[in-house]
Amino acid sequence: MRERGRTRRLMGLGARTGGALLKTRLGGQADWRALGEALFEGLSELKGPAMKLAQMMSQWDDLLPPDLADELARLQRQAEPMPWSRIHEALVLQYGDIHEYFTEIEERPFASASMGQVHKAVTLEGETVVLKVQYPGLADVLESDLKQVRRIIGLGRWFKVPQARLDALFEELAAGLRDELDYQAEANALARYRERYQSDSRIIIPKPLFELSGQHVLAMSYVPGTPLRELEGADDTVRQKVATTLADWITQELFTHGELHADPHAGNFAADEQGRLIIYDFGAVIAVPEARIEAMMHLLSATLDHDPMAMDDALVNLGGRQGQGAPLALYRETAESVSPLFEPGEQDFSDVRVHRRLRELSPKVWAAMDRLQPPADTLLLSRALNGHYWNLVRLKARLDMHARTAPLFECVARR
């Protein structure tokens, strides 16, 4: 009965989404705010992949209609917690007699999200830990939810996105969601990243507790900190320190290790009292091939050179340009919007003029969707980079991106 209810609700959301898109295609004014409210109300209760998709969409707030982006952003800040009785069910499934492992588990979640929630606990030895608990039965409903998500993604045909490309986008999304249910893989990622950055005193990563972890629960050391989304009003020195560390870390991940943390939800990052960057969640880590990095750097180089023909060539190589007729005017406007962040000297990521220009481009990007389409194998990468950019915006980062990218361009040129 519960699964049928989920299916009906997802199908209803798909119908409302399709109605809004159809109204836009027919020249009307879609009520994006109402649609966003419906998505929030439905998906925050459903949990699972559909809510995760909406959270991912919310991080593309430079492209989505503003009213829709504002409503979806609530899914990053708020998620109705699963009742304790259901979480207790998952804990018993993992441990049997919970009291053989813990003297206390807080019923109120430390954090809640789309695929699970986190509770603080105290071990028999007196150590405070956190338990990331997978929502009961989530693996069972995953495939059912994904079928409905595929239908929603299929609405992209109205924007002339080929079915083959939509299928490829869906498969990358589905693979990423299935990976997030693999707590063993996340525990291994935590261990790998702790070893990788053990000599970097600016970065803190929780320790996985393998002896307390399993299929349904991931146990980690408790690392307290101020969530990134709460740092907007923090001291400027702290914000700039965290922003610099975040930018350095992303660069090192891409250009040294060929990986990237692909869940840039602001709740996955925090700062401790010393201003060190804390990275909590490693459920989504993706490999980034060297060829993909080079192609993206060629696109950035062409953009900063204000060369629309070179931008088109780079997009073709990325697989993001289809059909006939390069939208050269759109390329020029994009270059004019992005270039200010890469001028010599420190640039302010909180400069609203940049965001305004990017948002003004949104309708033009949608209108050119028959020629500009997301490369099928870069959904998670694009989402991650976009989300990390907006985290820097939240921190009001001031970075010299010109100085940062110059050696990266040279590195790519030498390959």
Exposure class string for 141-170: b at 16+ Cβ within 10 A, else e: bbebbbebbbbbbbbbeeeebeeebbebbb
pLDDT at 76 over 80: no
Which pLDDT value is given to residue 383? Answer: 77
Which pLDDT value is given to residue 362? Answer: 75
pLDDT at 10 over 60: no
pTM of the model: 0.82
Which pLDDT value is given to residue 100? Answer: 96
What residues are labeled active site? 263
The pLDDT tens digits of the residues spanning 118-129 come to 999 999 999 999
The rounded percent of the chain whose pLDDT value lies above 90 is 47
pLDDT at 81 over 70: yes
| Cα atoms in the Cβ-side hemisphere of radius 13 Å centred on 277 | 26
Residues with Cβ within 8 Å of residue 162, at least 6 apart in sequence: 322, 373
The listed range with the strongest mean pLDDT (80-84, 210-214, 227-231, 281-285) is 210-214
155: pLDDT confidence band, cut at 50, 70 and 90? low
Provide the token pair at 236: 């400027």
Sheet-wide strand order for 277-279? 203-204, 277-279, 269-271, 226-227
Give me the chain's average pLDDT, please: 82
Burial of 327 (0-12, 13-18, 19+ CB in 10 A): buried
